A and B are shown apart, each in its own frame.
Chain A
Amino acid sequence: MAVTQTLPDARGRFGDYGGKFVPETLSAALEDLEEAYRAARGDPLFQEQLGSLLRNYVGRPTPIYYARRLTENLGGGQIFLKREDLNHTGAHKINNALGQGLLACRMGKARITAETGAGQHGVATATAAALLGLKCEVFMGVHDMERQRLNVLRMEILGARVIPVSQGTGTLKDAVSEAIRDWVTNIETTYYLIGSTVGPHPYPMMVRDFQSVIGEEVKSQAQALWGRLPDYVIACVGGGSNALGIFAPLLHERVNLIGVEGGGKGLDSREHAASLQRGKPGVLHGSYSYLLQDEWGQIQEAYSLAAGLDYPGVGPEHSYLKDCGRVTYTAATDHEALAAFFLLGETEGILPALESAHALACAFKLAPSLSREKIILINLSGRGDKDVEVVARERGKNS
């Protein structure tokens, strides 16, 4: 975990990016959080607790699966899937929710809050709260509540309260803003459990560390499977947590890393979520990073069919990795992601989350240009049950 240890610096910066741009009321809470996290990280008991939950409750390690029929269908490089969709609750989000949930217990907080877009992080947090006996409230944009209805029901059944956010566009950005306002108000009693590598320091570092279990597993599984590392690792980027989870342990290895943003209706339309490719650096939700914004610094709406990618910002570490060129960032449109969703279902019997389908779409473009001995590993960050309604509606439109 060399890189993981060196960045961010003491000020929470990845190069110029990151930091703690928060109202004063939150400053003390962020200090406490960082201290508690560093203590937990170094505590073998905490690591053992988390490790045991990841094994016995989540079902880790997740397998790497060779998608043979898909590979043959596309021709070219071999496609492997890191099956985060097989985790308990159906996405990578649980890795982080349990880590931070345990931390909340350590800090003596009785109430946890979260924001959610696709609802996967909300479900993961509600799950952790049920398991750990904590009160849970989840902020969710009204638009997202509609398109991810199934996950709203799951959260409620798990005992969480879902708080609808109607401000702004009623999507993830507004849910984060409301969650932060709630935290400012209930700072003494509440642990704010952020779901991605965004927000003020120490969140981007902490979420990355909890998700790095994905990349660590890849490293050891790769030896057994191939006797070497894959040539390409591809992940979708919303806030960036599943991508950093798989990238971070591989940053110093000779592996091509590709992050795929939500291309919406195309990067030349105004409807996309490609913060890294079409945004400019600025400050939102506590950190300095690439942002979709107008010339006056007002945040612009993002758009993606995948609720989990529909965010105008991105984790600061991705901004750093983009500028230094270590990771290549590209986008897949709604249309391409849908095609990938169907192809994976038809060839492999796996329905991917629409977010993950963006990573697949990128791999589908890449694979035919590569020779058969090349290995492409896709982080299949979640399963697609939650998206079935949206996909059916889209198919209705196009047929």
Chain B
Amino acid sequence: MSASRTEHFFLSRESRSEKLLVAYLCAGYPDLEKSVLWAQALVEGGADCLEIGVPFSDPLADGPVIQAASQRALAAGVNLEKVLGLGEVLQEKLSKQVPLVLMSYLNPILQYGMERFAAELAPRGFNGAIIVDLPYEEGETMQALLCRQKISLVPLIAPTTRINRLQKIVQRGAGFIYCISVTGVTGPRDTLDSRISSLIPKIKELTSLPVVVGFGVSRPEQAAALGALADGIVVGSAFIRVIGSFQAEPGRIQEQLKGLAKNLKKALTDTQGNCCSSSPVVIR
């Protein structure tokens, strides 16, 4: 667990100087070639890590934005094999190497074969995996398989996670800790769960891995508030929305993605050291 690849990229909290912007993309929305362009734009805008989502027919933890993007990607014929291929392309084409984390629901991985999946991630350029519907008690086998390949299985923690469970999850976790900001599905929101302001420090006490907050985060003000609490943020639906809303002028999408990434990163960075800031705007 301790020497996994992602950890080499995400330095421990003390030695890291910057807050992290993790950007989620639904692979193949609206097609795989475009995904490469979007990824480039996000990295140029300052994303420190890319979460590459495998589209699934029944995404239980996702709101309407990512559901619709997944449907589109599936209709375009995207599957796990192709998403792994995208990793390879990104490894080659990104201007700056950032860690790639594959995000999937469990069933596509089961059908692909867990061992085969675990073995192929690293050669295809991935450093970690997030499996949305594989909670702690079901994850042991997968974790062991991934660990052997030096791939981090990034765990999720929710506002509803209890302390005894939290300890176990964090202990087994690798790469970074993904803290879910709301009880709910993915999608932009105005308010985040107030419990995370006590949850994040608790997680930080238990691990030196970066604690990154996601679900619902879309705006620079939220980034600023969360940047003060956590080691970084994950933004997904907000980027997917940009892709969706500029479909008529695809040329502008890259510029828009880059701009949003830049603003978010700036908001995060501006909060550096400002760790006690209260954040009335976003946290209810």
Residues of A within 8 A of B (CB): 11, 19-29, 167-168, 173, 177, 180-181, 184-188, 280-286, 291, 293, 295-299
Q: How far is the CA of A145 from the CA of B266 in the complex (A)?
A: 49
Is there contact, CB below 8 Å, between A24 and B57?
A: no
Is there contact, CB below 8 Å, between A286 and B133?
A: yes
Is there contact, CB below 8 Å, between B60 and A295?
A: no
Is there contact, CB below 8 Å, between A185 and B183?
A: yes
Interface size on B, residues (CB 8 A): 40
B65 in contact (CB, < 8 A) = no
Q: Distance (Å) between the CB of A28 and the closest chain B CB?
A: 4
Q: How far is the CA of A188 from the CA of B159 in the complex (A)?
A: 11
Residues of A within 8 A of B138 (CB): 19-21
Is there contact, CB below 8 Å, between A24 and B157?
A: yes
Q: Distance (Å) between the CB of B120 and the closest chain A CB?
A: 14
Residues of A within 8 A of B137 (CB): 11, 20
Is there contact, CB below 8 Å, between A284 and B135?
A: no
Q: How far is the CA of A22 from the CA of B160 in the complex (A)?
A: 13
Supplied contacts A23-B156, A185-B185, 6 more A-B pairs, CB within 8 Å? A22-B135, A24-B155, A25-B158, A180-B60, A296-B111, A297-B107
Residues of B within 8 A of A22 (CB): 60, 133, 135
Given contacts A187-B160, A284-B58, A298-B74, contact A25 B133 (CB under 8 A): no
Residues of B within 8 A of A187 (CB): 160, 183
**Considering residues A20, A29, A298, which has the most beta carbons from chain B within 10 angstroms of its beta carbon?**
A298
Q: How far is the CA of A293 from the CA of B61 in the complex (A)?
A: 19
A-B pairs with lowest CB-CB distance, top 7: A297-B111, A297-B108, A296-B79, A25-B158, A185-B184, A297-B107, A23-B61
Is there contact, CB below 8 Å, between B80 and A296?
A: yes
B165 in contact (CB, < 8 A) = yes
> Which of B63, B81, B106, B180 sits near A24, CB closer than 8 Å?
B180
B161 in contact (CB, < 8 A) = yes
Residues of B within 8 A of A184 (CB): 60-61, 183-185
B284 in contact (CB, < 8 A) = no
Q: Distance (Å) between the CB of B53 and the closest chain A CB?
A: 14
Residues of B within 8 A of A173 (CB): 58
Is there contact, CB below 8 Å, between B108 and A21?
A: no
8 A-B pairs within 8 Å (CB atoms) are namely A22-B133, A23-B133, A24-B158, A181-B63, A188-B183, A283-B105, A296-B112, A297-B112
Q: Distance (Å) between the CB of A397 and the closest chain B CB?
A: 30
Is there contact, CB below 8 Å, between A23 and B135?
A: yes
Q: How far is the CA of A284 from the CA of B133 in the complex (A)?
A: 9
Is there contact, CB below 8 Å, between A23 and B107?
A: no
Q: How far is the CA of A59 from the CA of B67 in the complex (A)?
A: 44
Q: Distance (Å) between the CB of B203 and the closest chain A CB?
A: 13
- Considering only residues 96-155 of chain B, those with a C-beta below 8 Å from chain A are 105-112, 132-138, 155
Residues of A within 8 A of B132 (CB): 23
